[in-house]
Amino acid sequence: MAIEVSWLLEDRVILAEISGVVSQEDLPSYDAAVQQHLNASTGPTVHLVVDQTRSESKFDTRLMAGLRFPRHPKLGWMIPLGATAPGAKAVGKLAAQSLHVSVHNAGTRDEALDFLQRADATLPLEWQP
């Protein structure tokens, strides 16, 4: 399993790309990497796009419970890509609500970027990679 965390838009939008099977042991480094980006940002709000399209794991709320980054004061929208089953989307939204995180499911990266452009007027107009 691999989780790669990088800037999609410096200081404003983080991209986490998840592939393979996610285990409990993978989460501390993922959590630390996202928090590092959130802490390094000089922007007021930082959004997170989580690309799960190459993940072989099913969504598990128990895995989310130990993460600290969802409670970070700079975290804006969290946008999972690849959660296609209605049940997975519903469970993900419930978990996010319990953590007080704004979530928007998107099918593709373009859909996620279009949503962020509409949801956050402070993002540059022509930033999409």
Would you state the CATH architecture of domain 2-119?
Answer: 2-Layer Sandwich (3.30)
The token pair that represents 56 in the structure block: 């072989």
**CA triplet 31, 37, 41: central angle to 5 degrees?**
145
**CA triplet 92, 61, 96: central angle to 5 degrees?**
40
* CA–CA gap between residue 129 and residue 127 (Å, rounded): 6
pTM (2 decimals)? 0.85
* Segment 94-115, tens digit of pLDDT: 556 656 788 888 989 999 999 9
* Segment 36-50, tens digit of pLDDT: 999 999 989 999 999
